[in-house]
Amino acid sequence: MTIFDLIVTLIVGFITAFPLCRVAKNQGFKADWWVMLVLVLIPVLQIPYLYWIAFKKGQ
């Protein structure tokens, strides 16, 4: 995993987190900073698993 991958996942996380938090606030849910943090970290947590799928040895 390179630093470029981490930067891209953080950008993607922010792009998806802001609209989701705004929709949640408009619907009456409490979307604090920790909700934003979780939404941003989801893509970061997926990257190692996706690398494992892509580079695992054939069966």
> How does pLDDT run across 22-46, given as a tens digit for each residue?
888 899 988 888 888 888 888 888 8
3-state helix, strand, coil in the chain (%, to 5): 80, 0, 20
Q: How far apart are the first and last CA of the chain?
A: 23
CB 15 within 8 A of CB 43: no
pLDDT tier for residue 58 given thresholds of 50, 70 and 90: low
Per-residue pLDDT tens over the stretch 8-25: 888 888 888 888 888 888
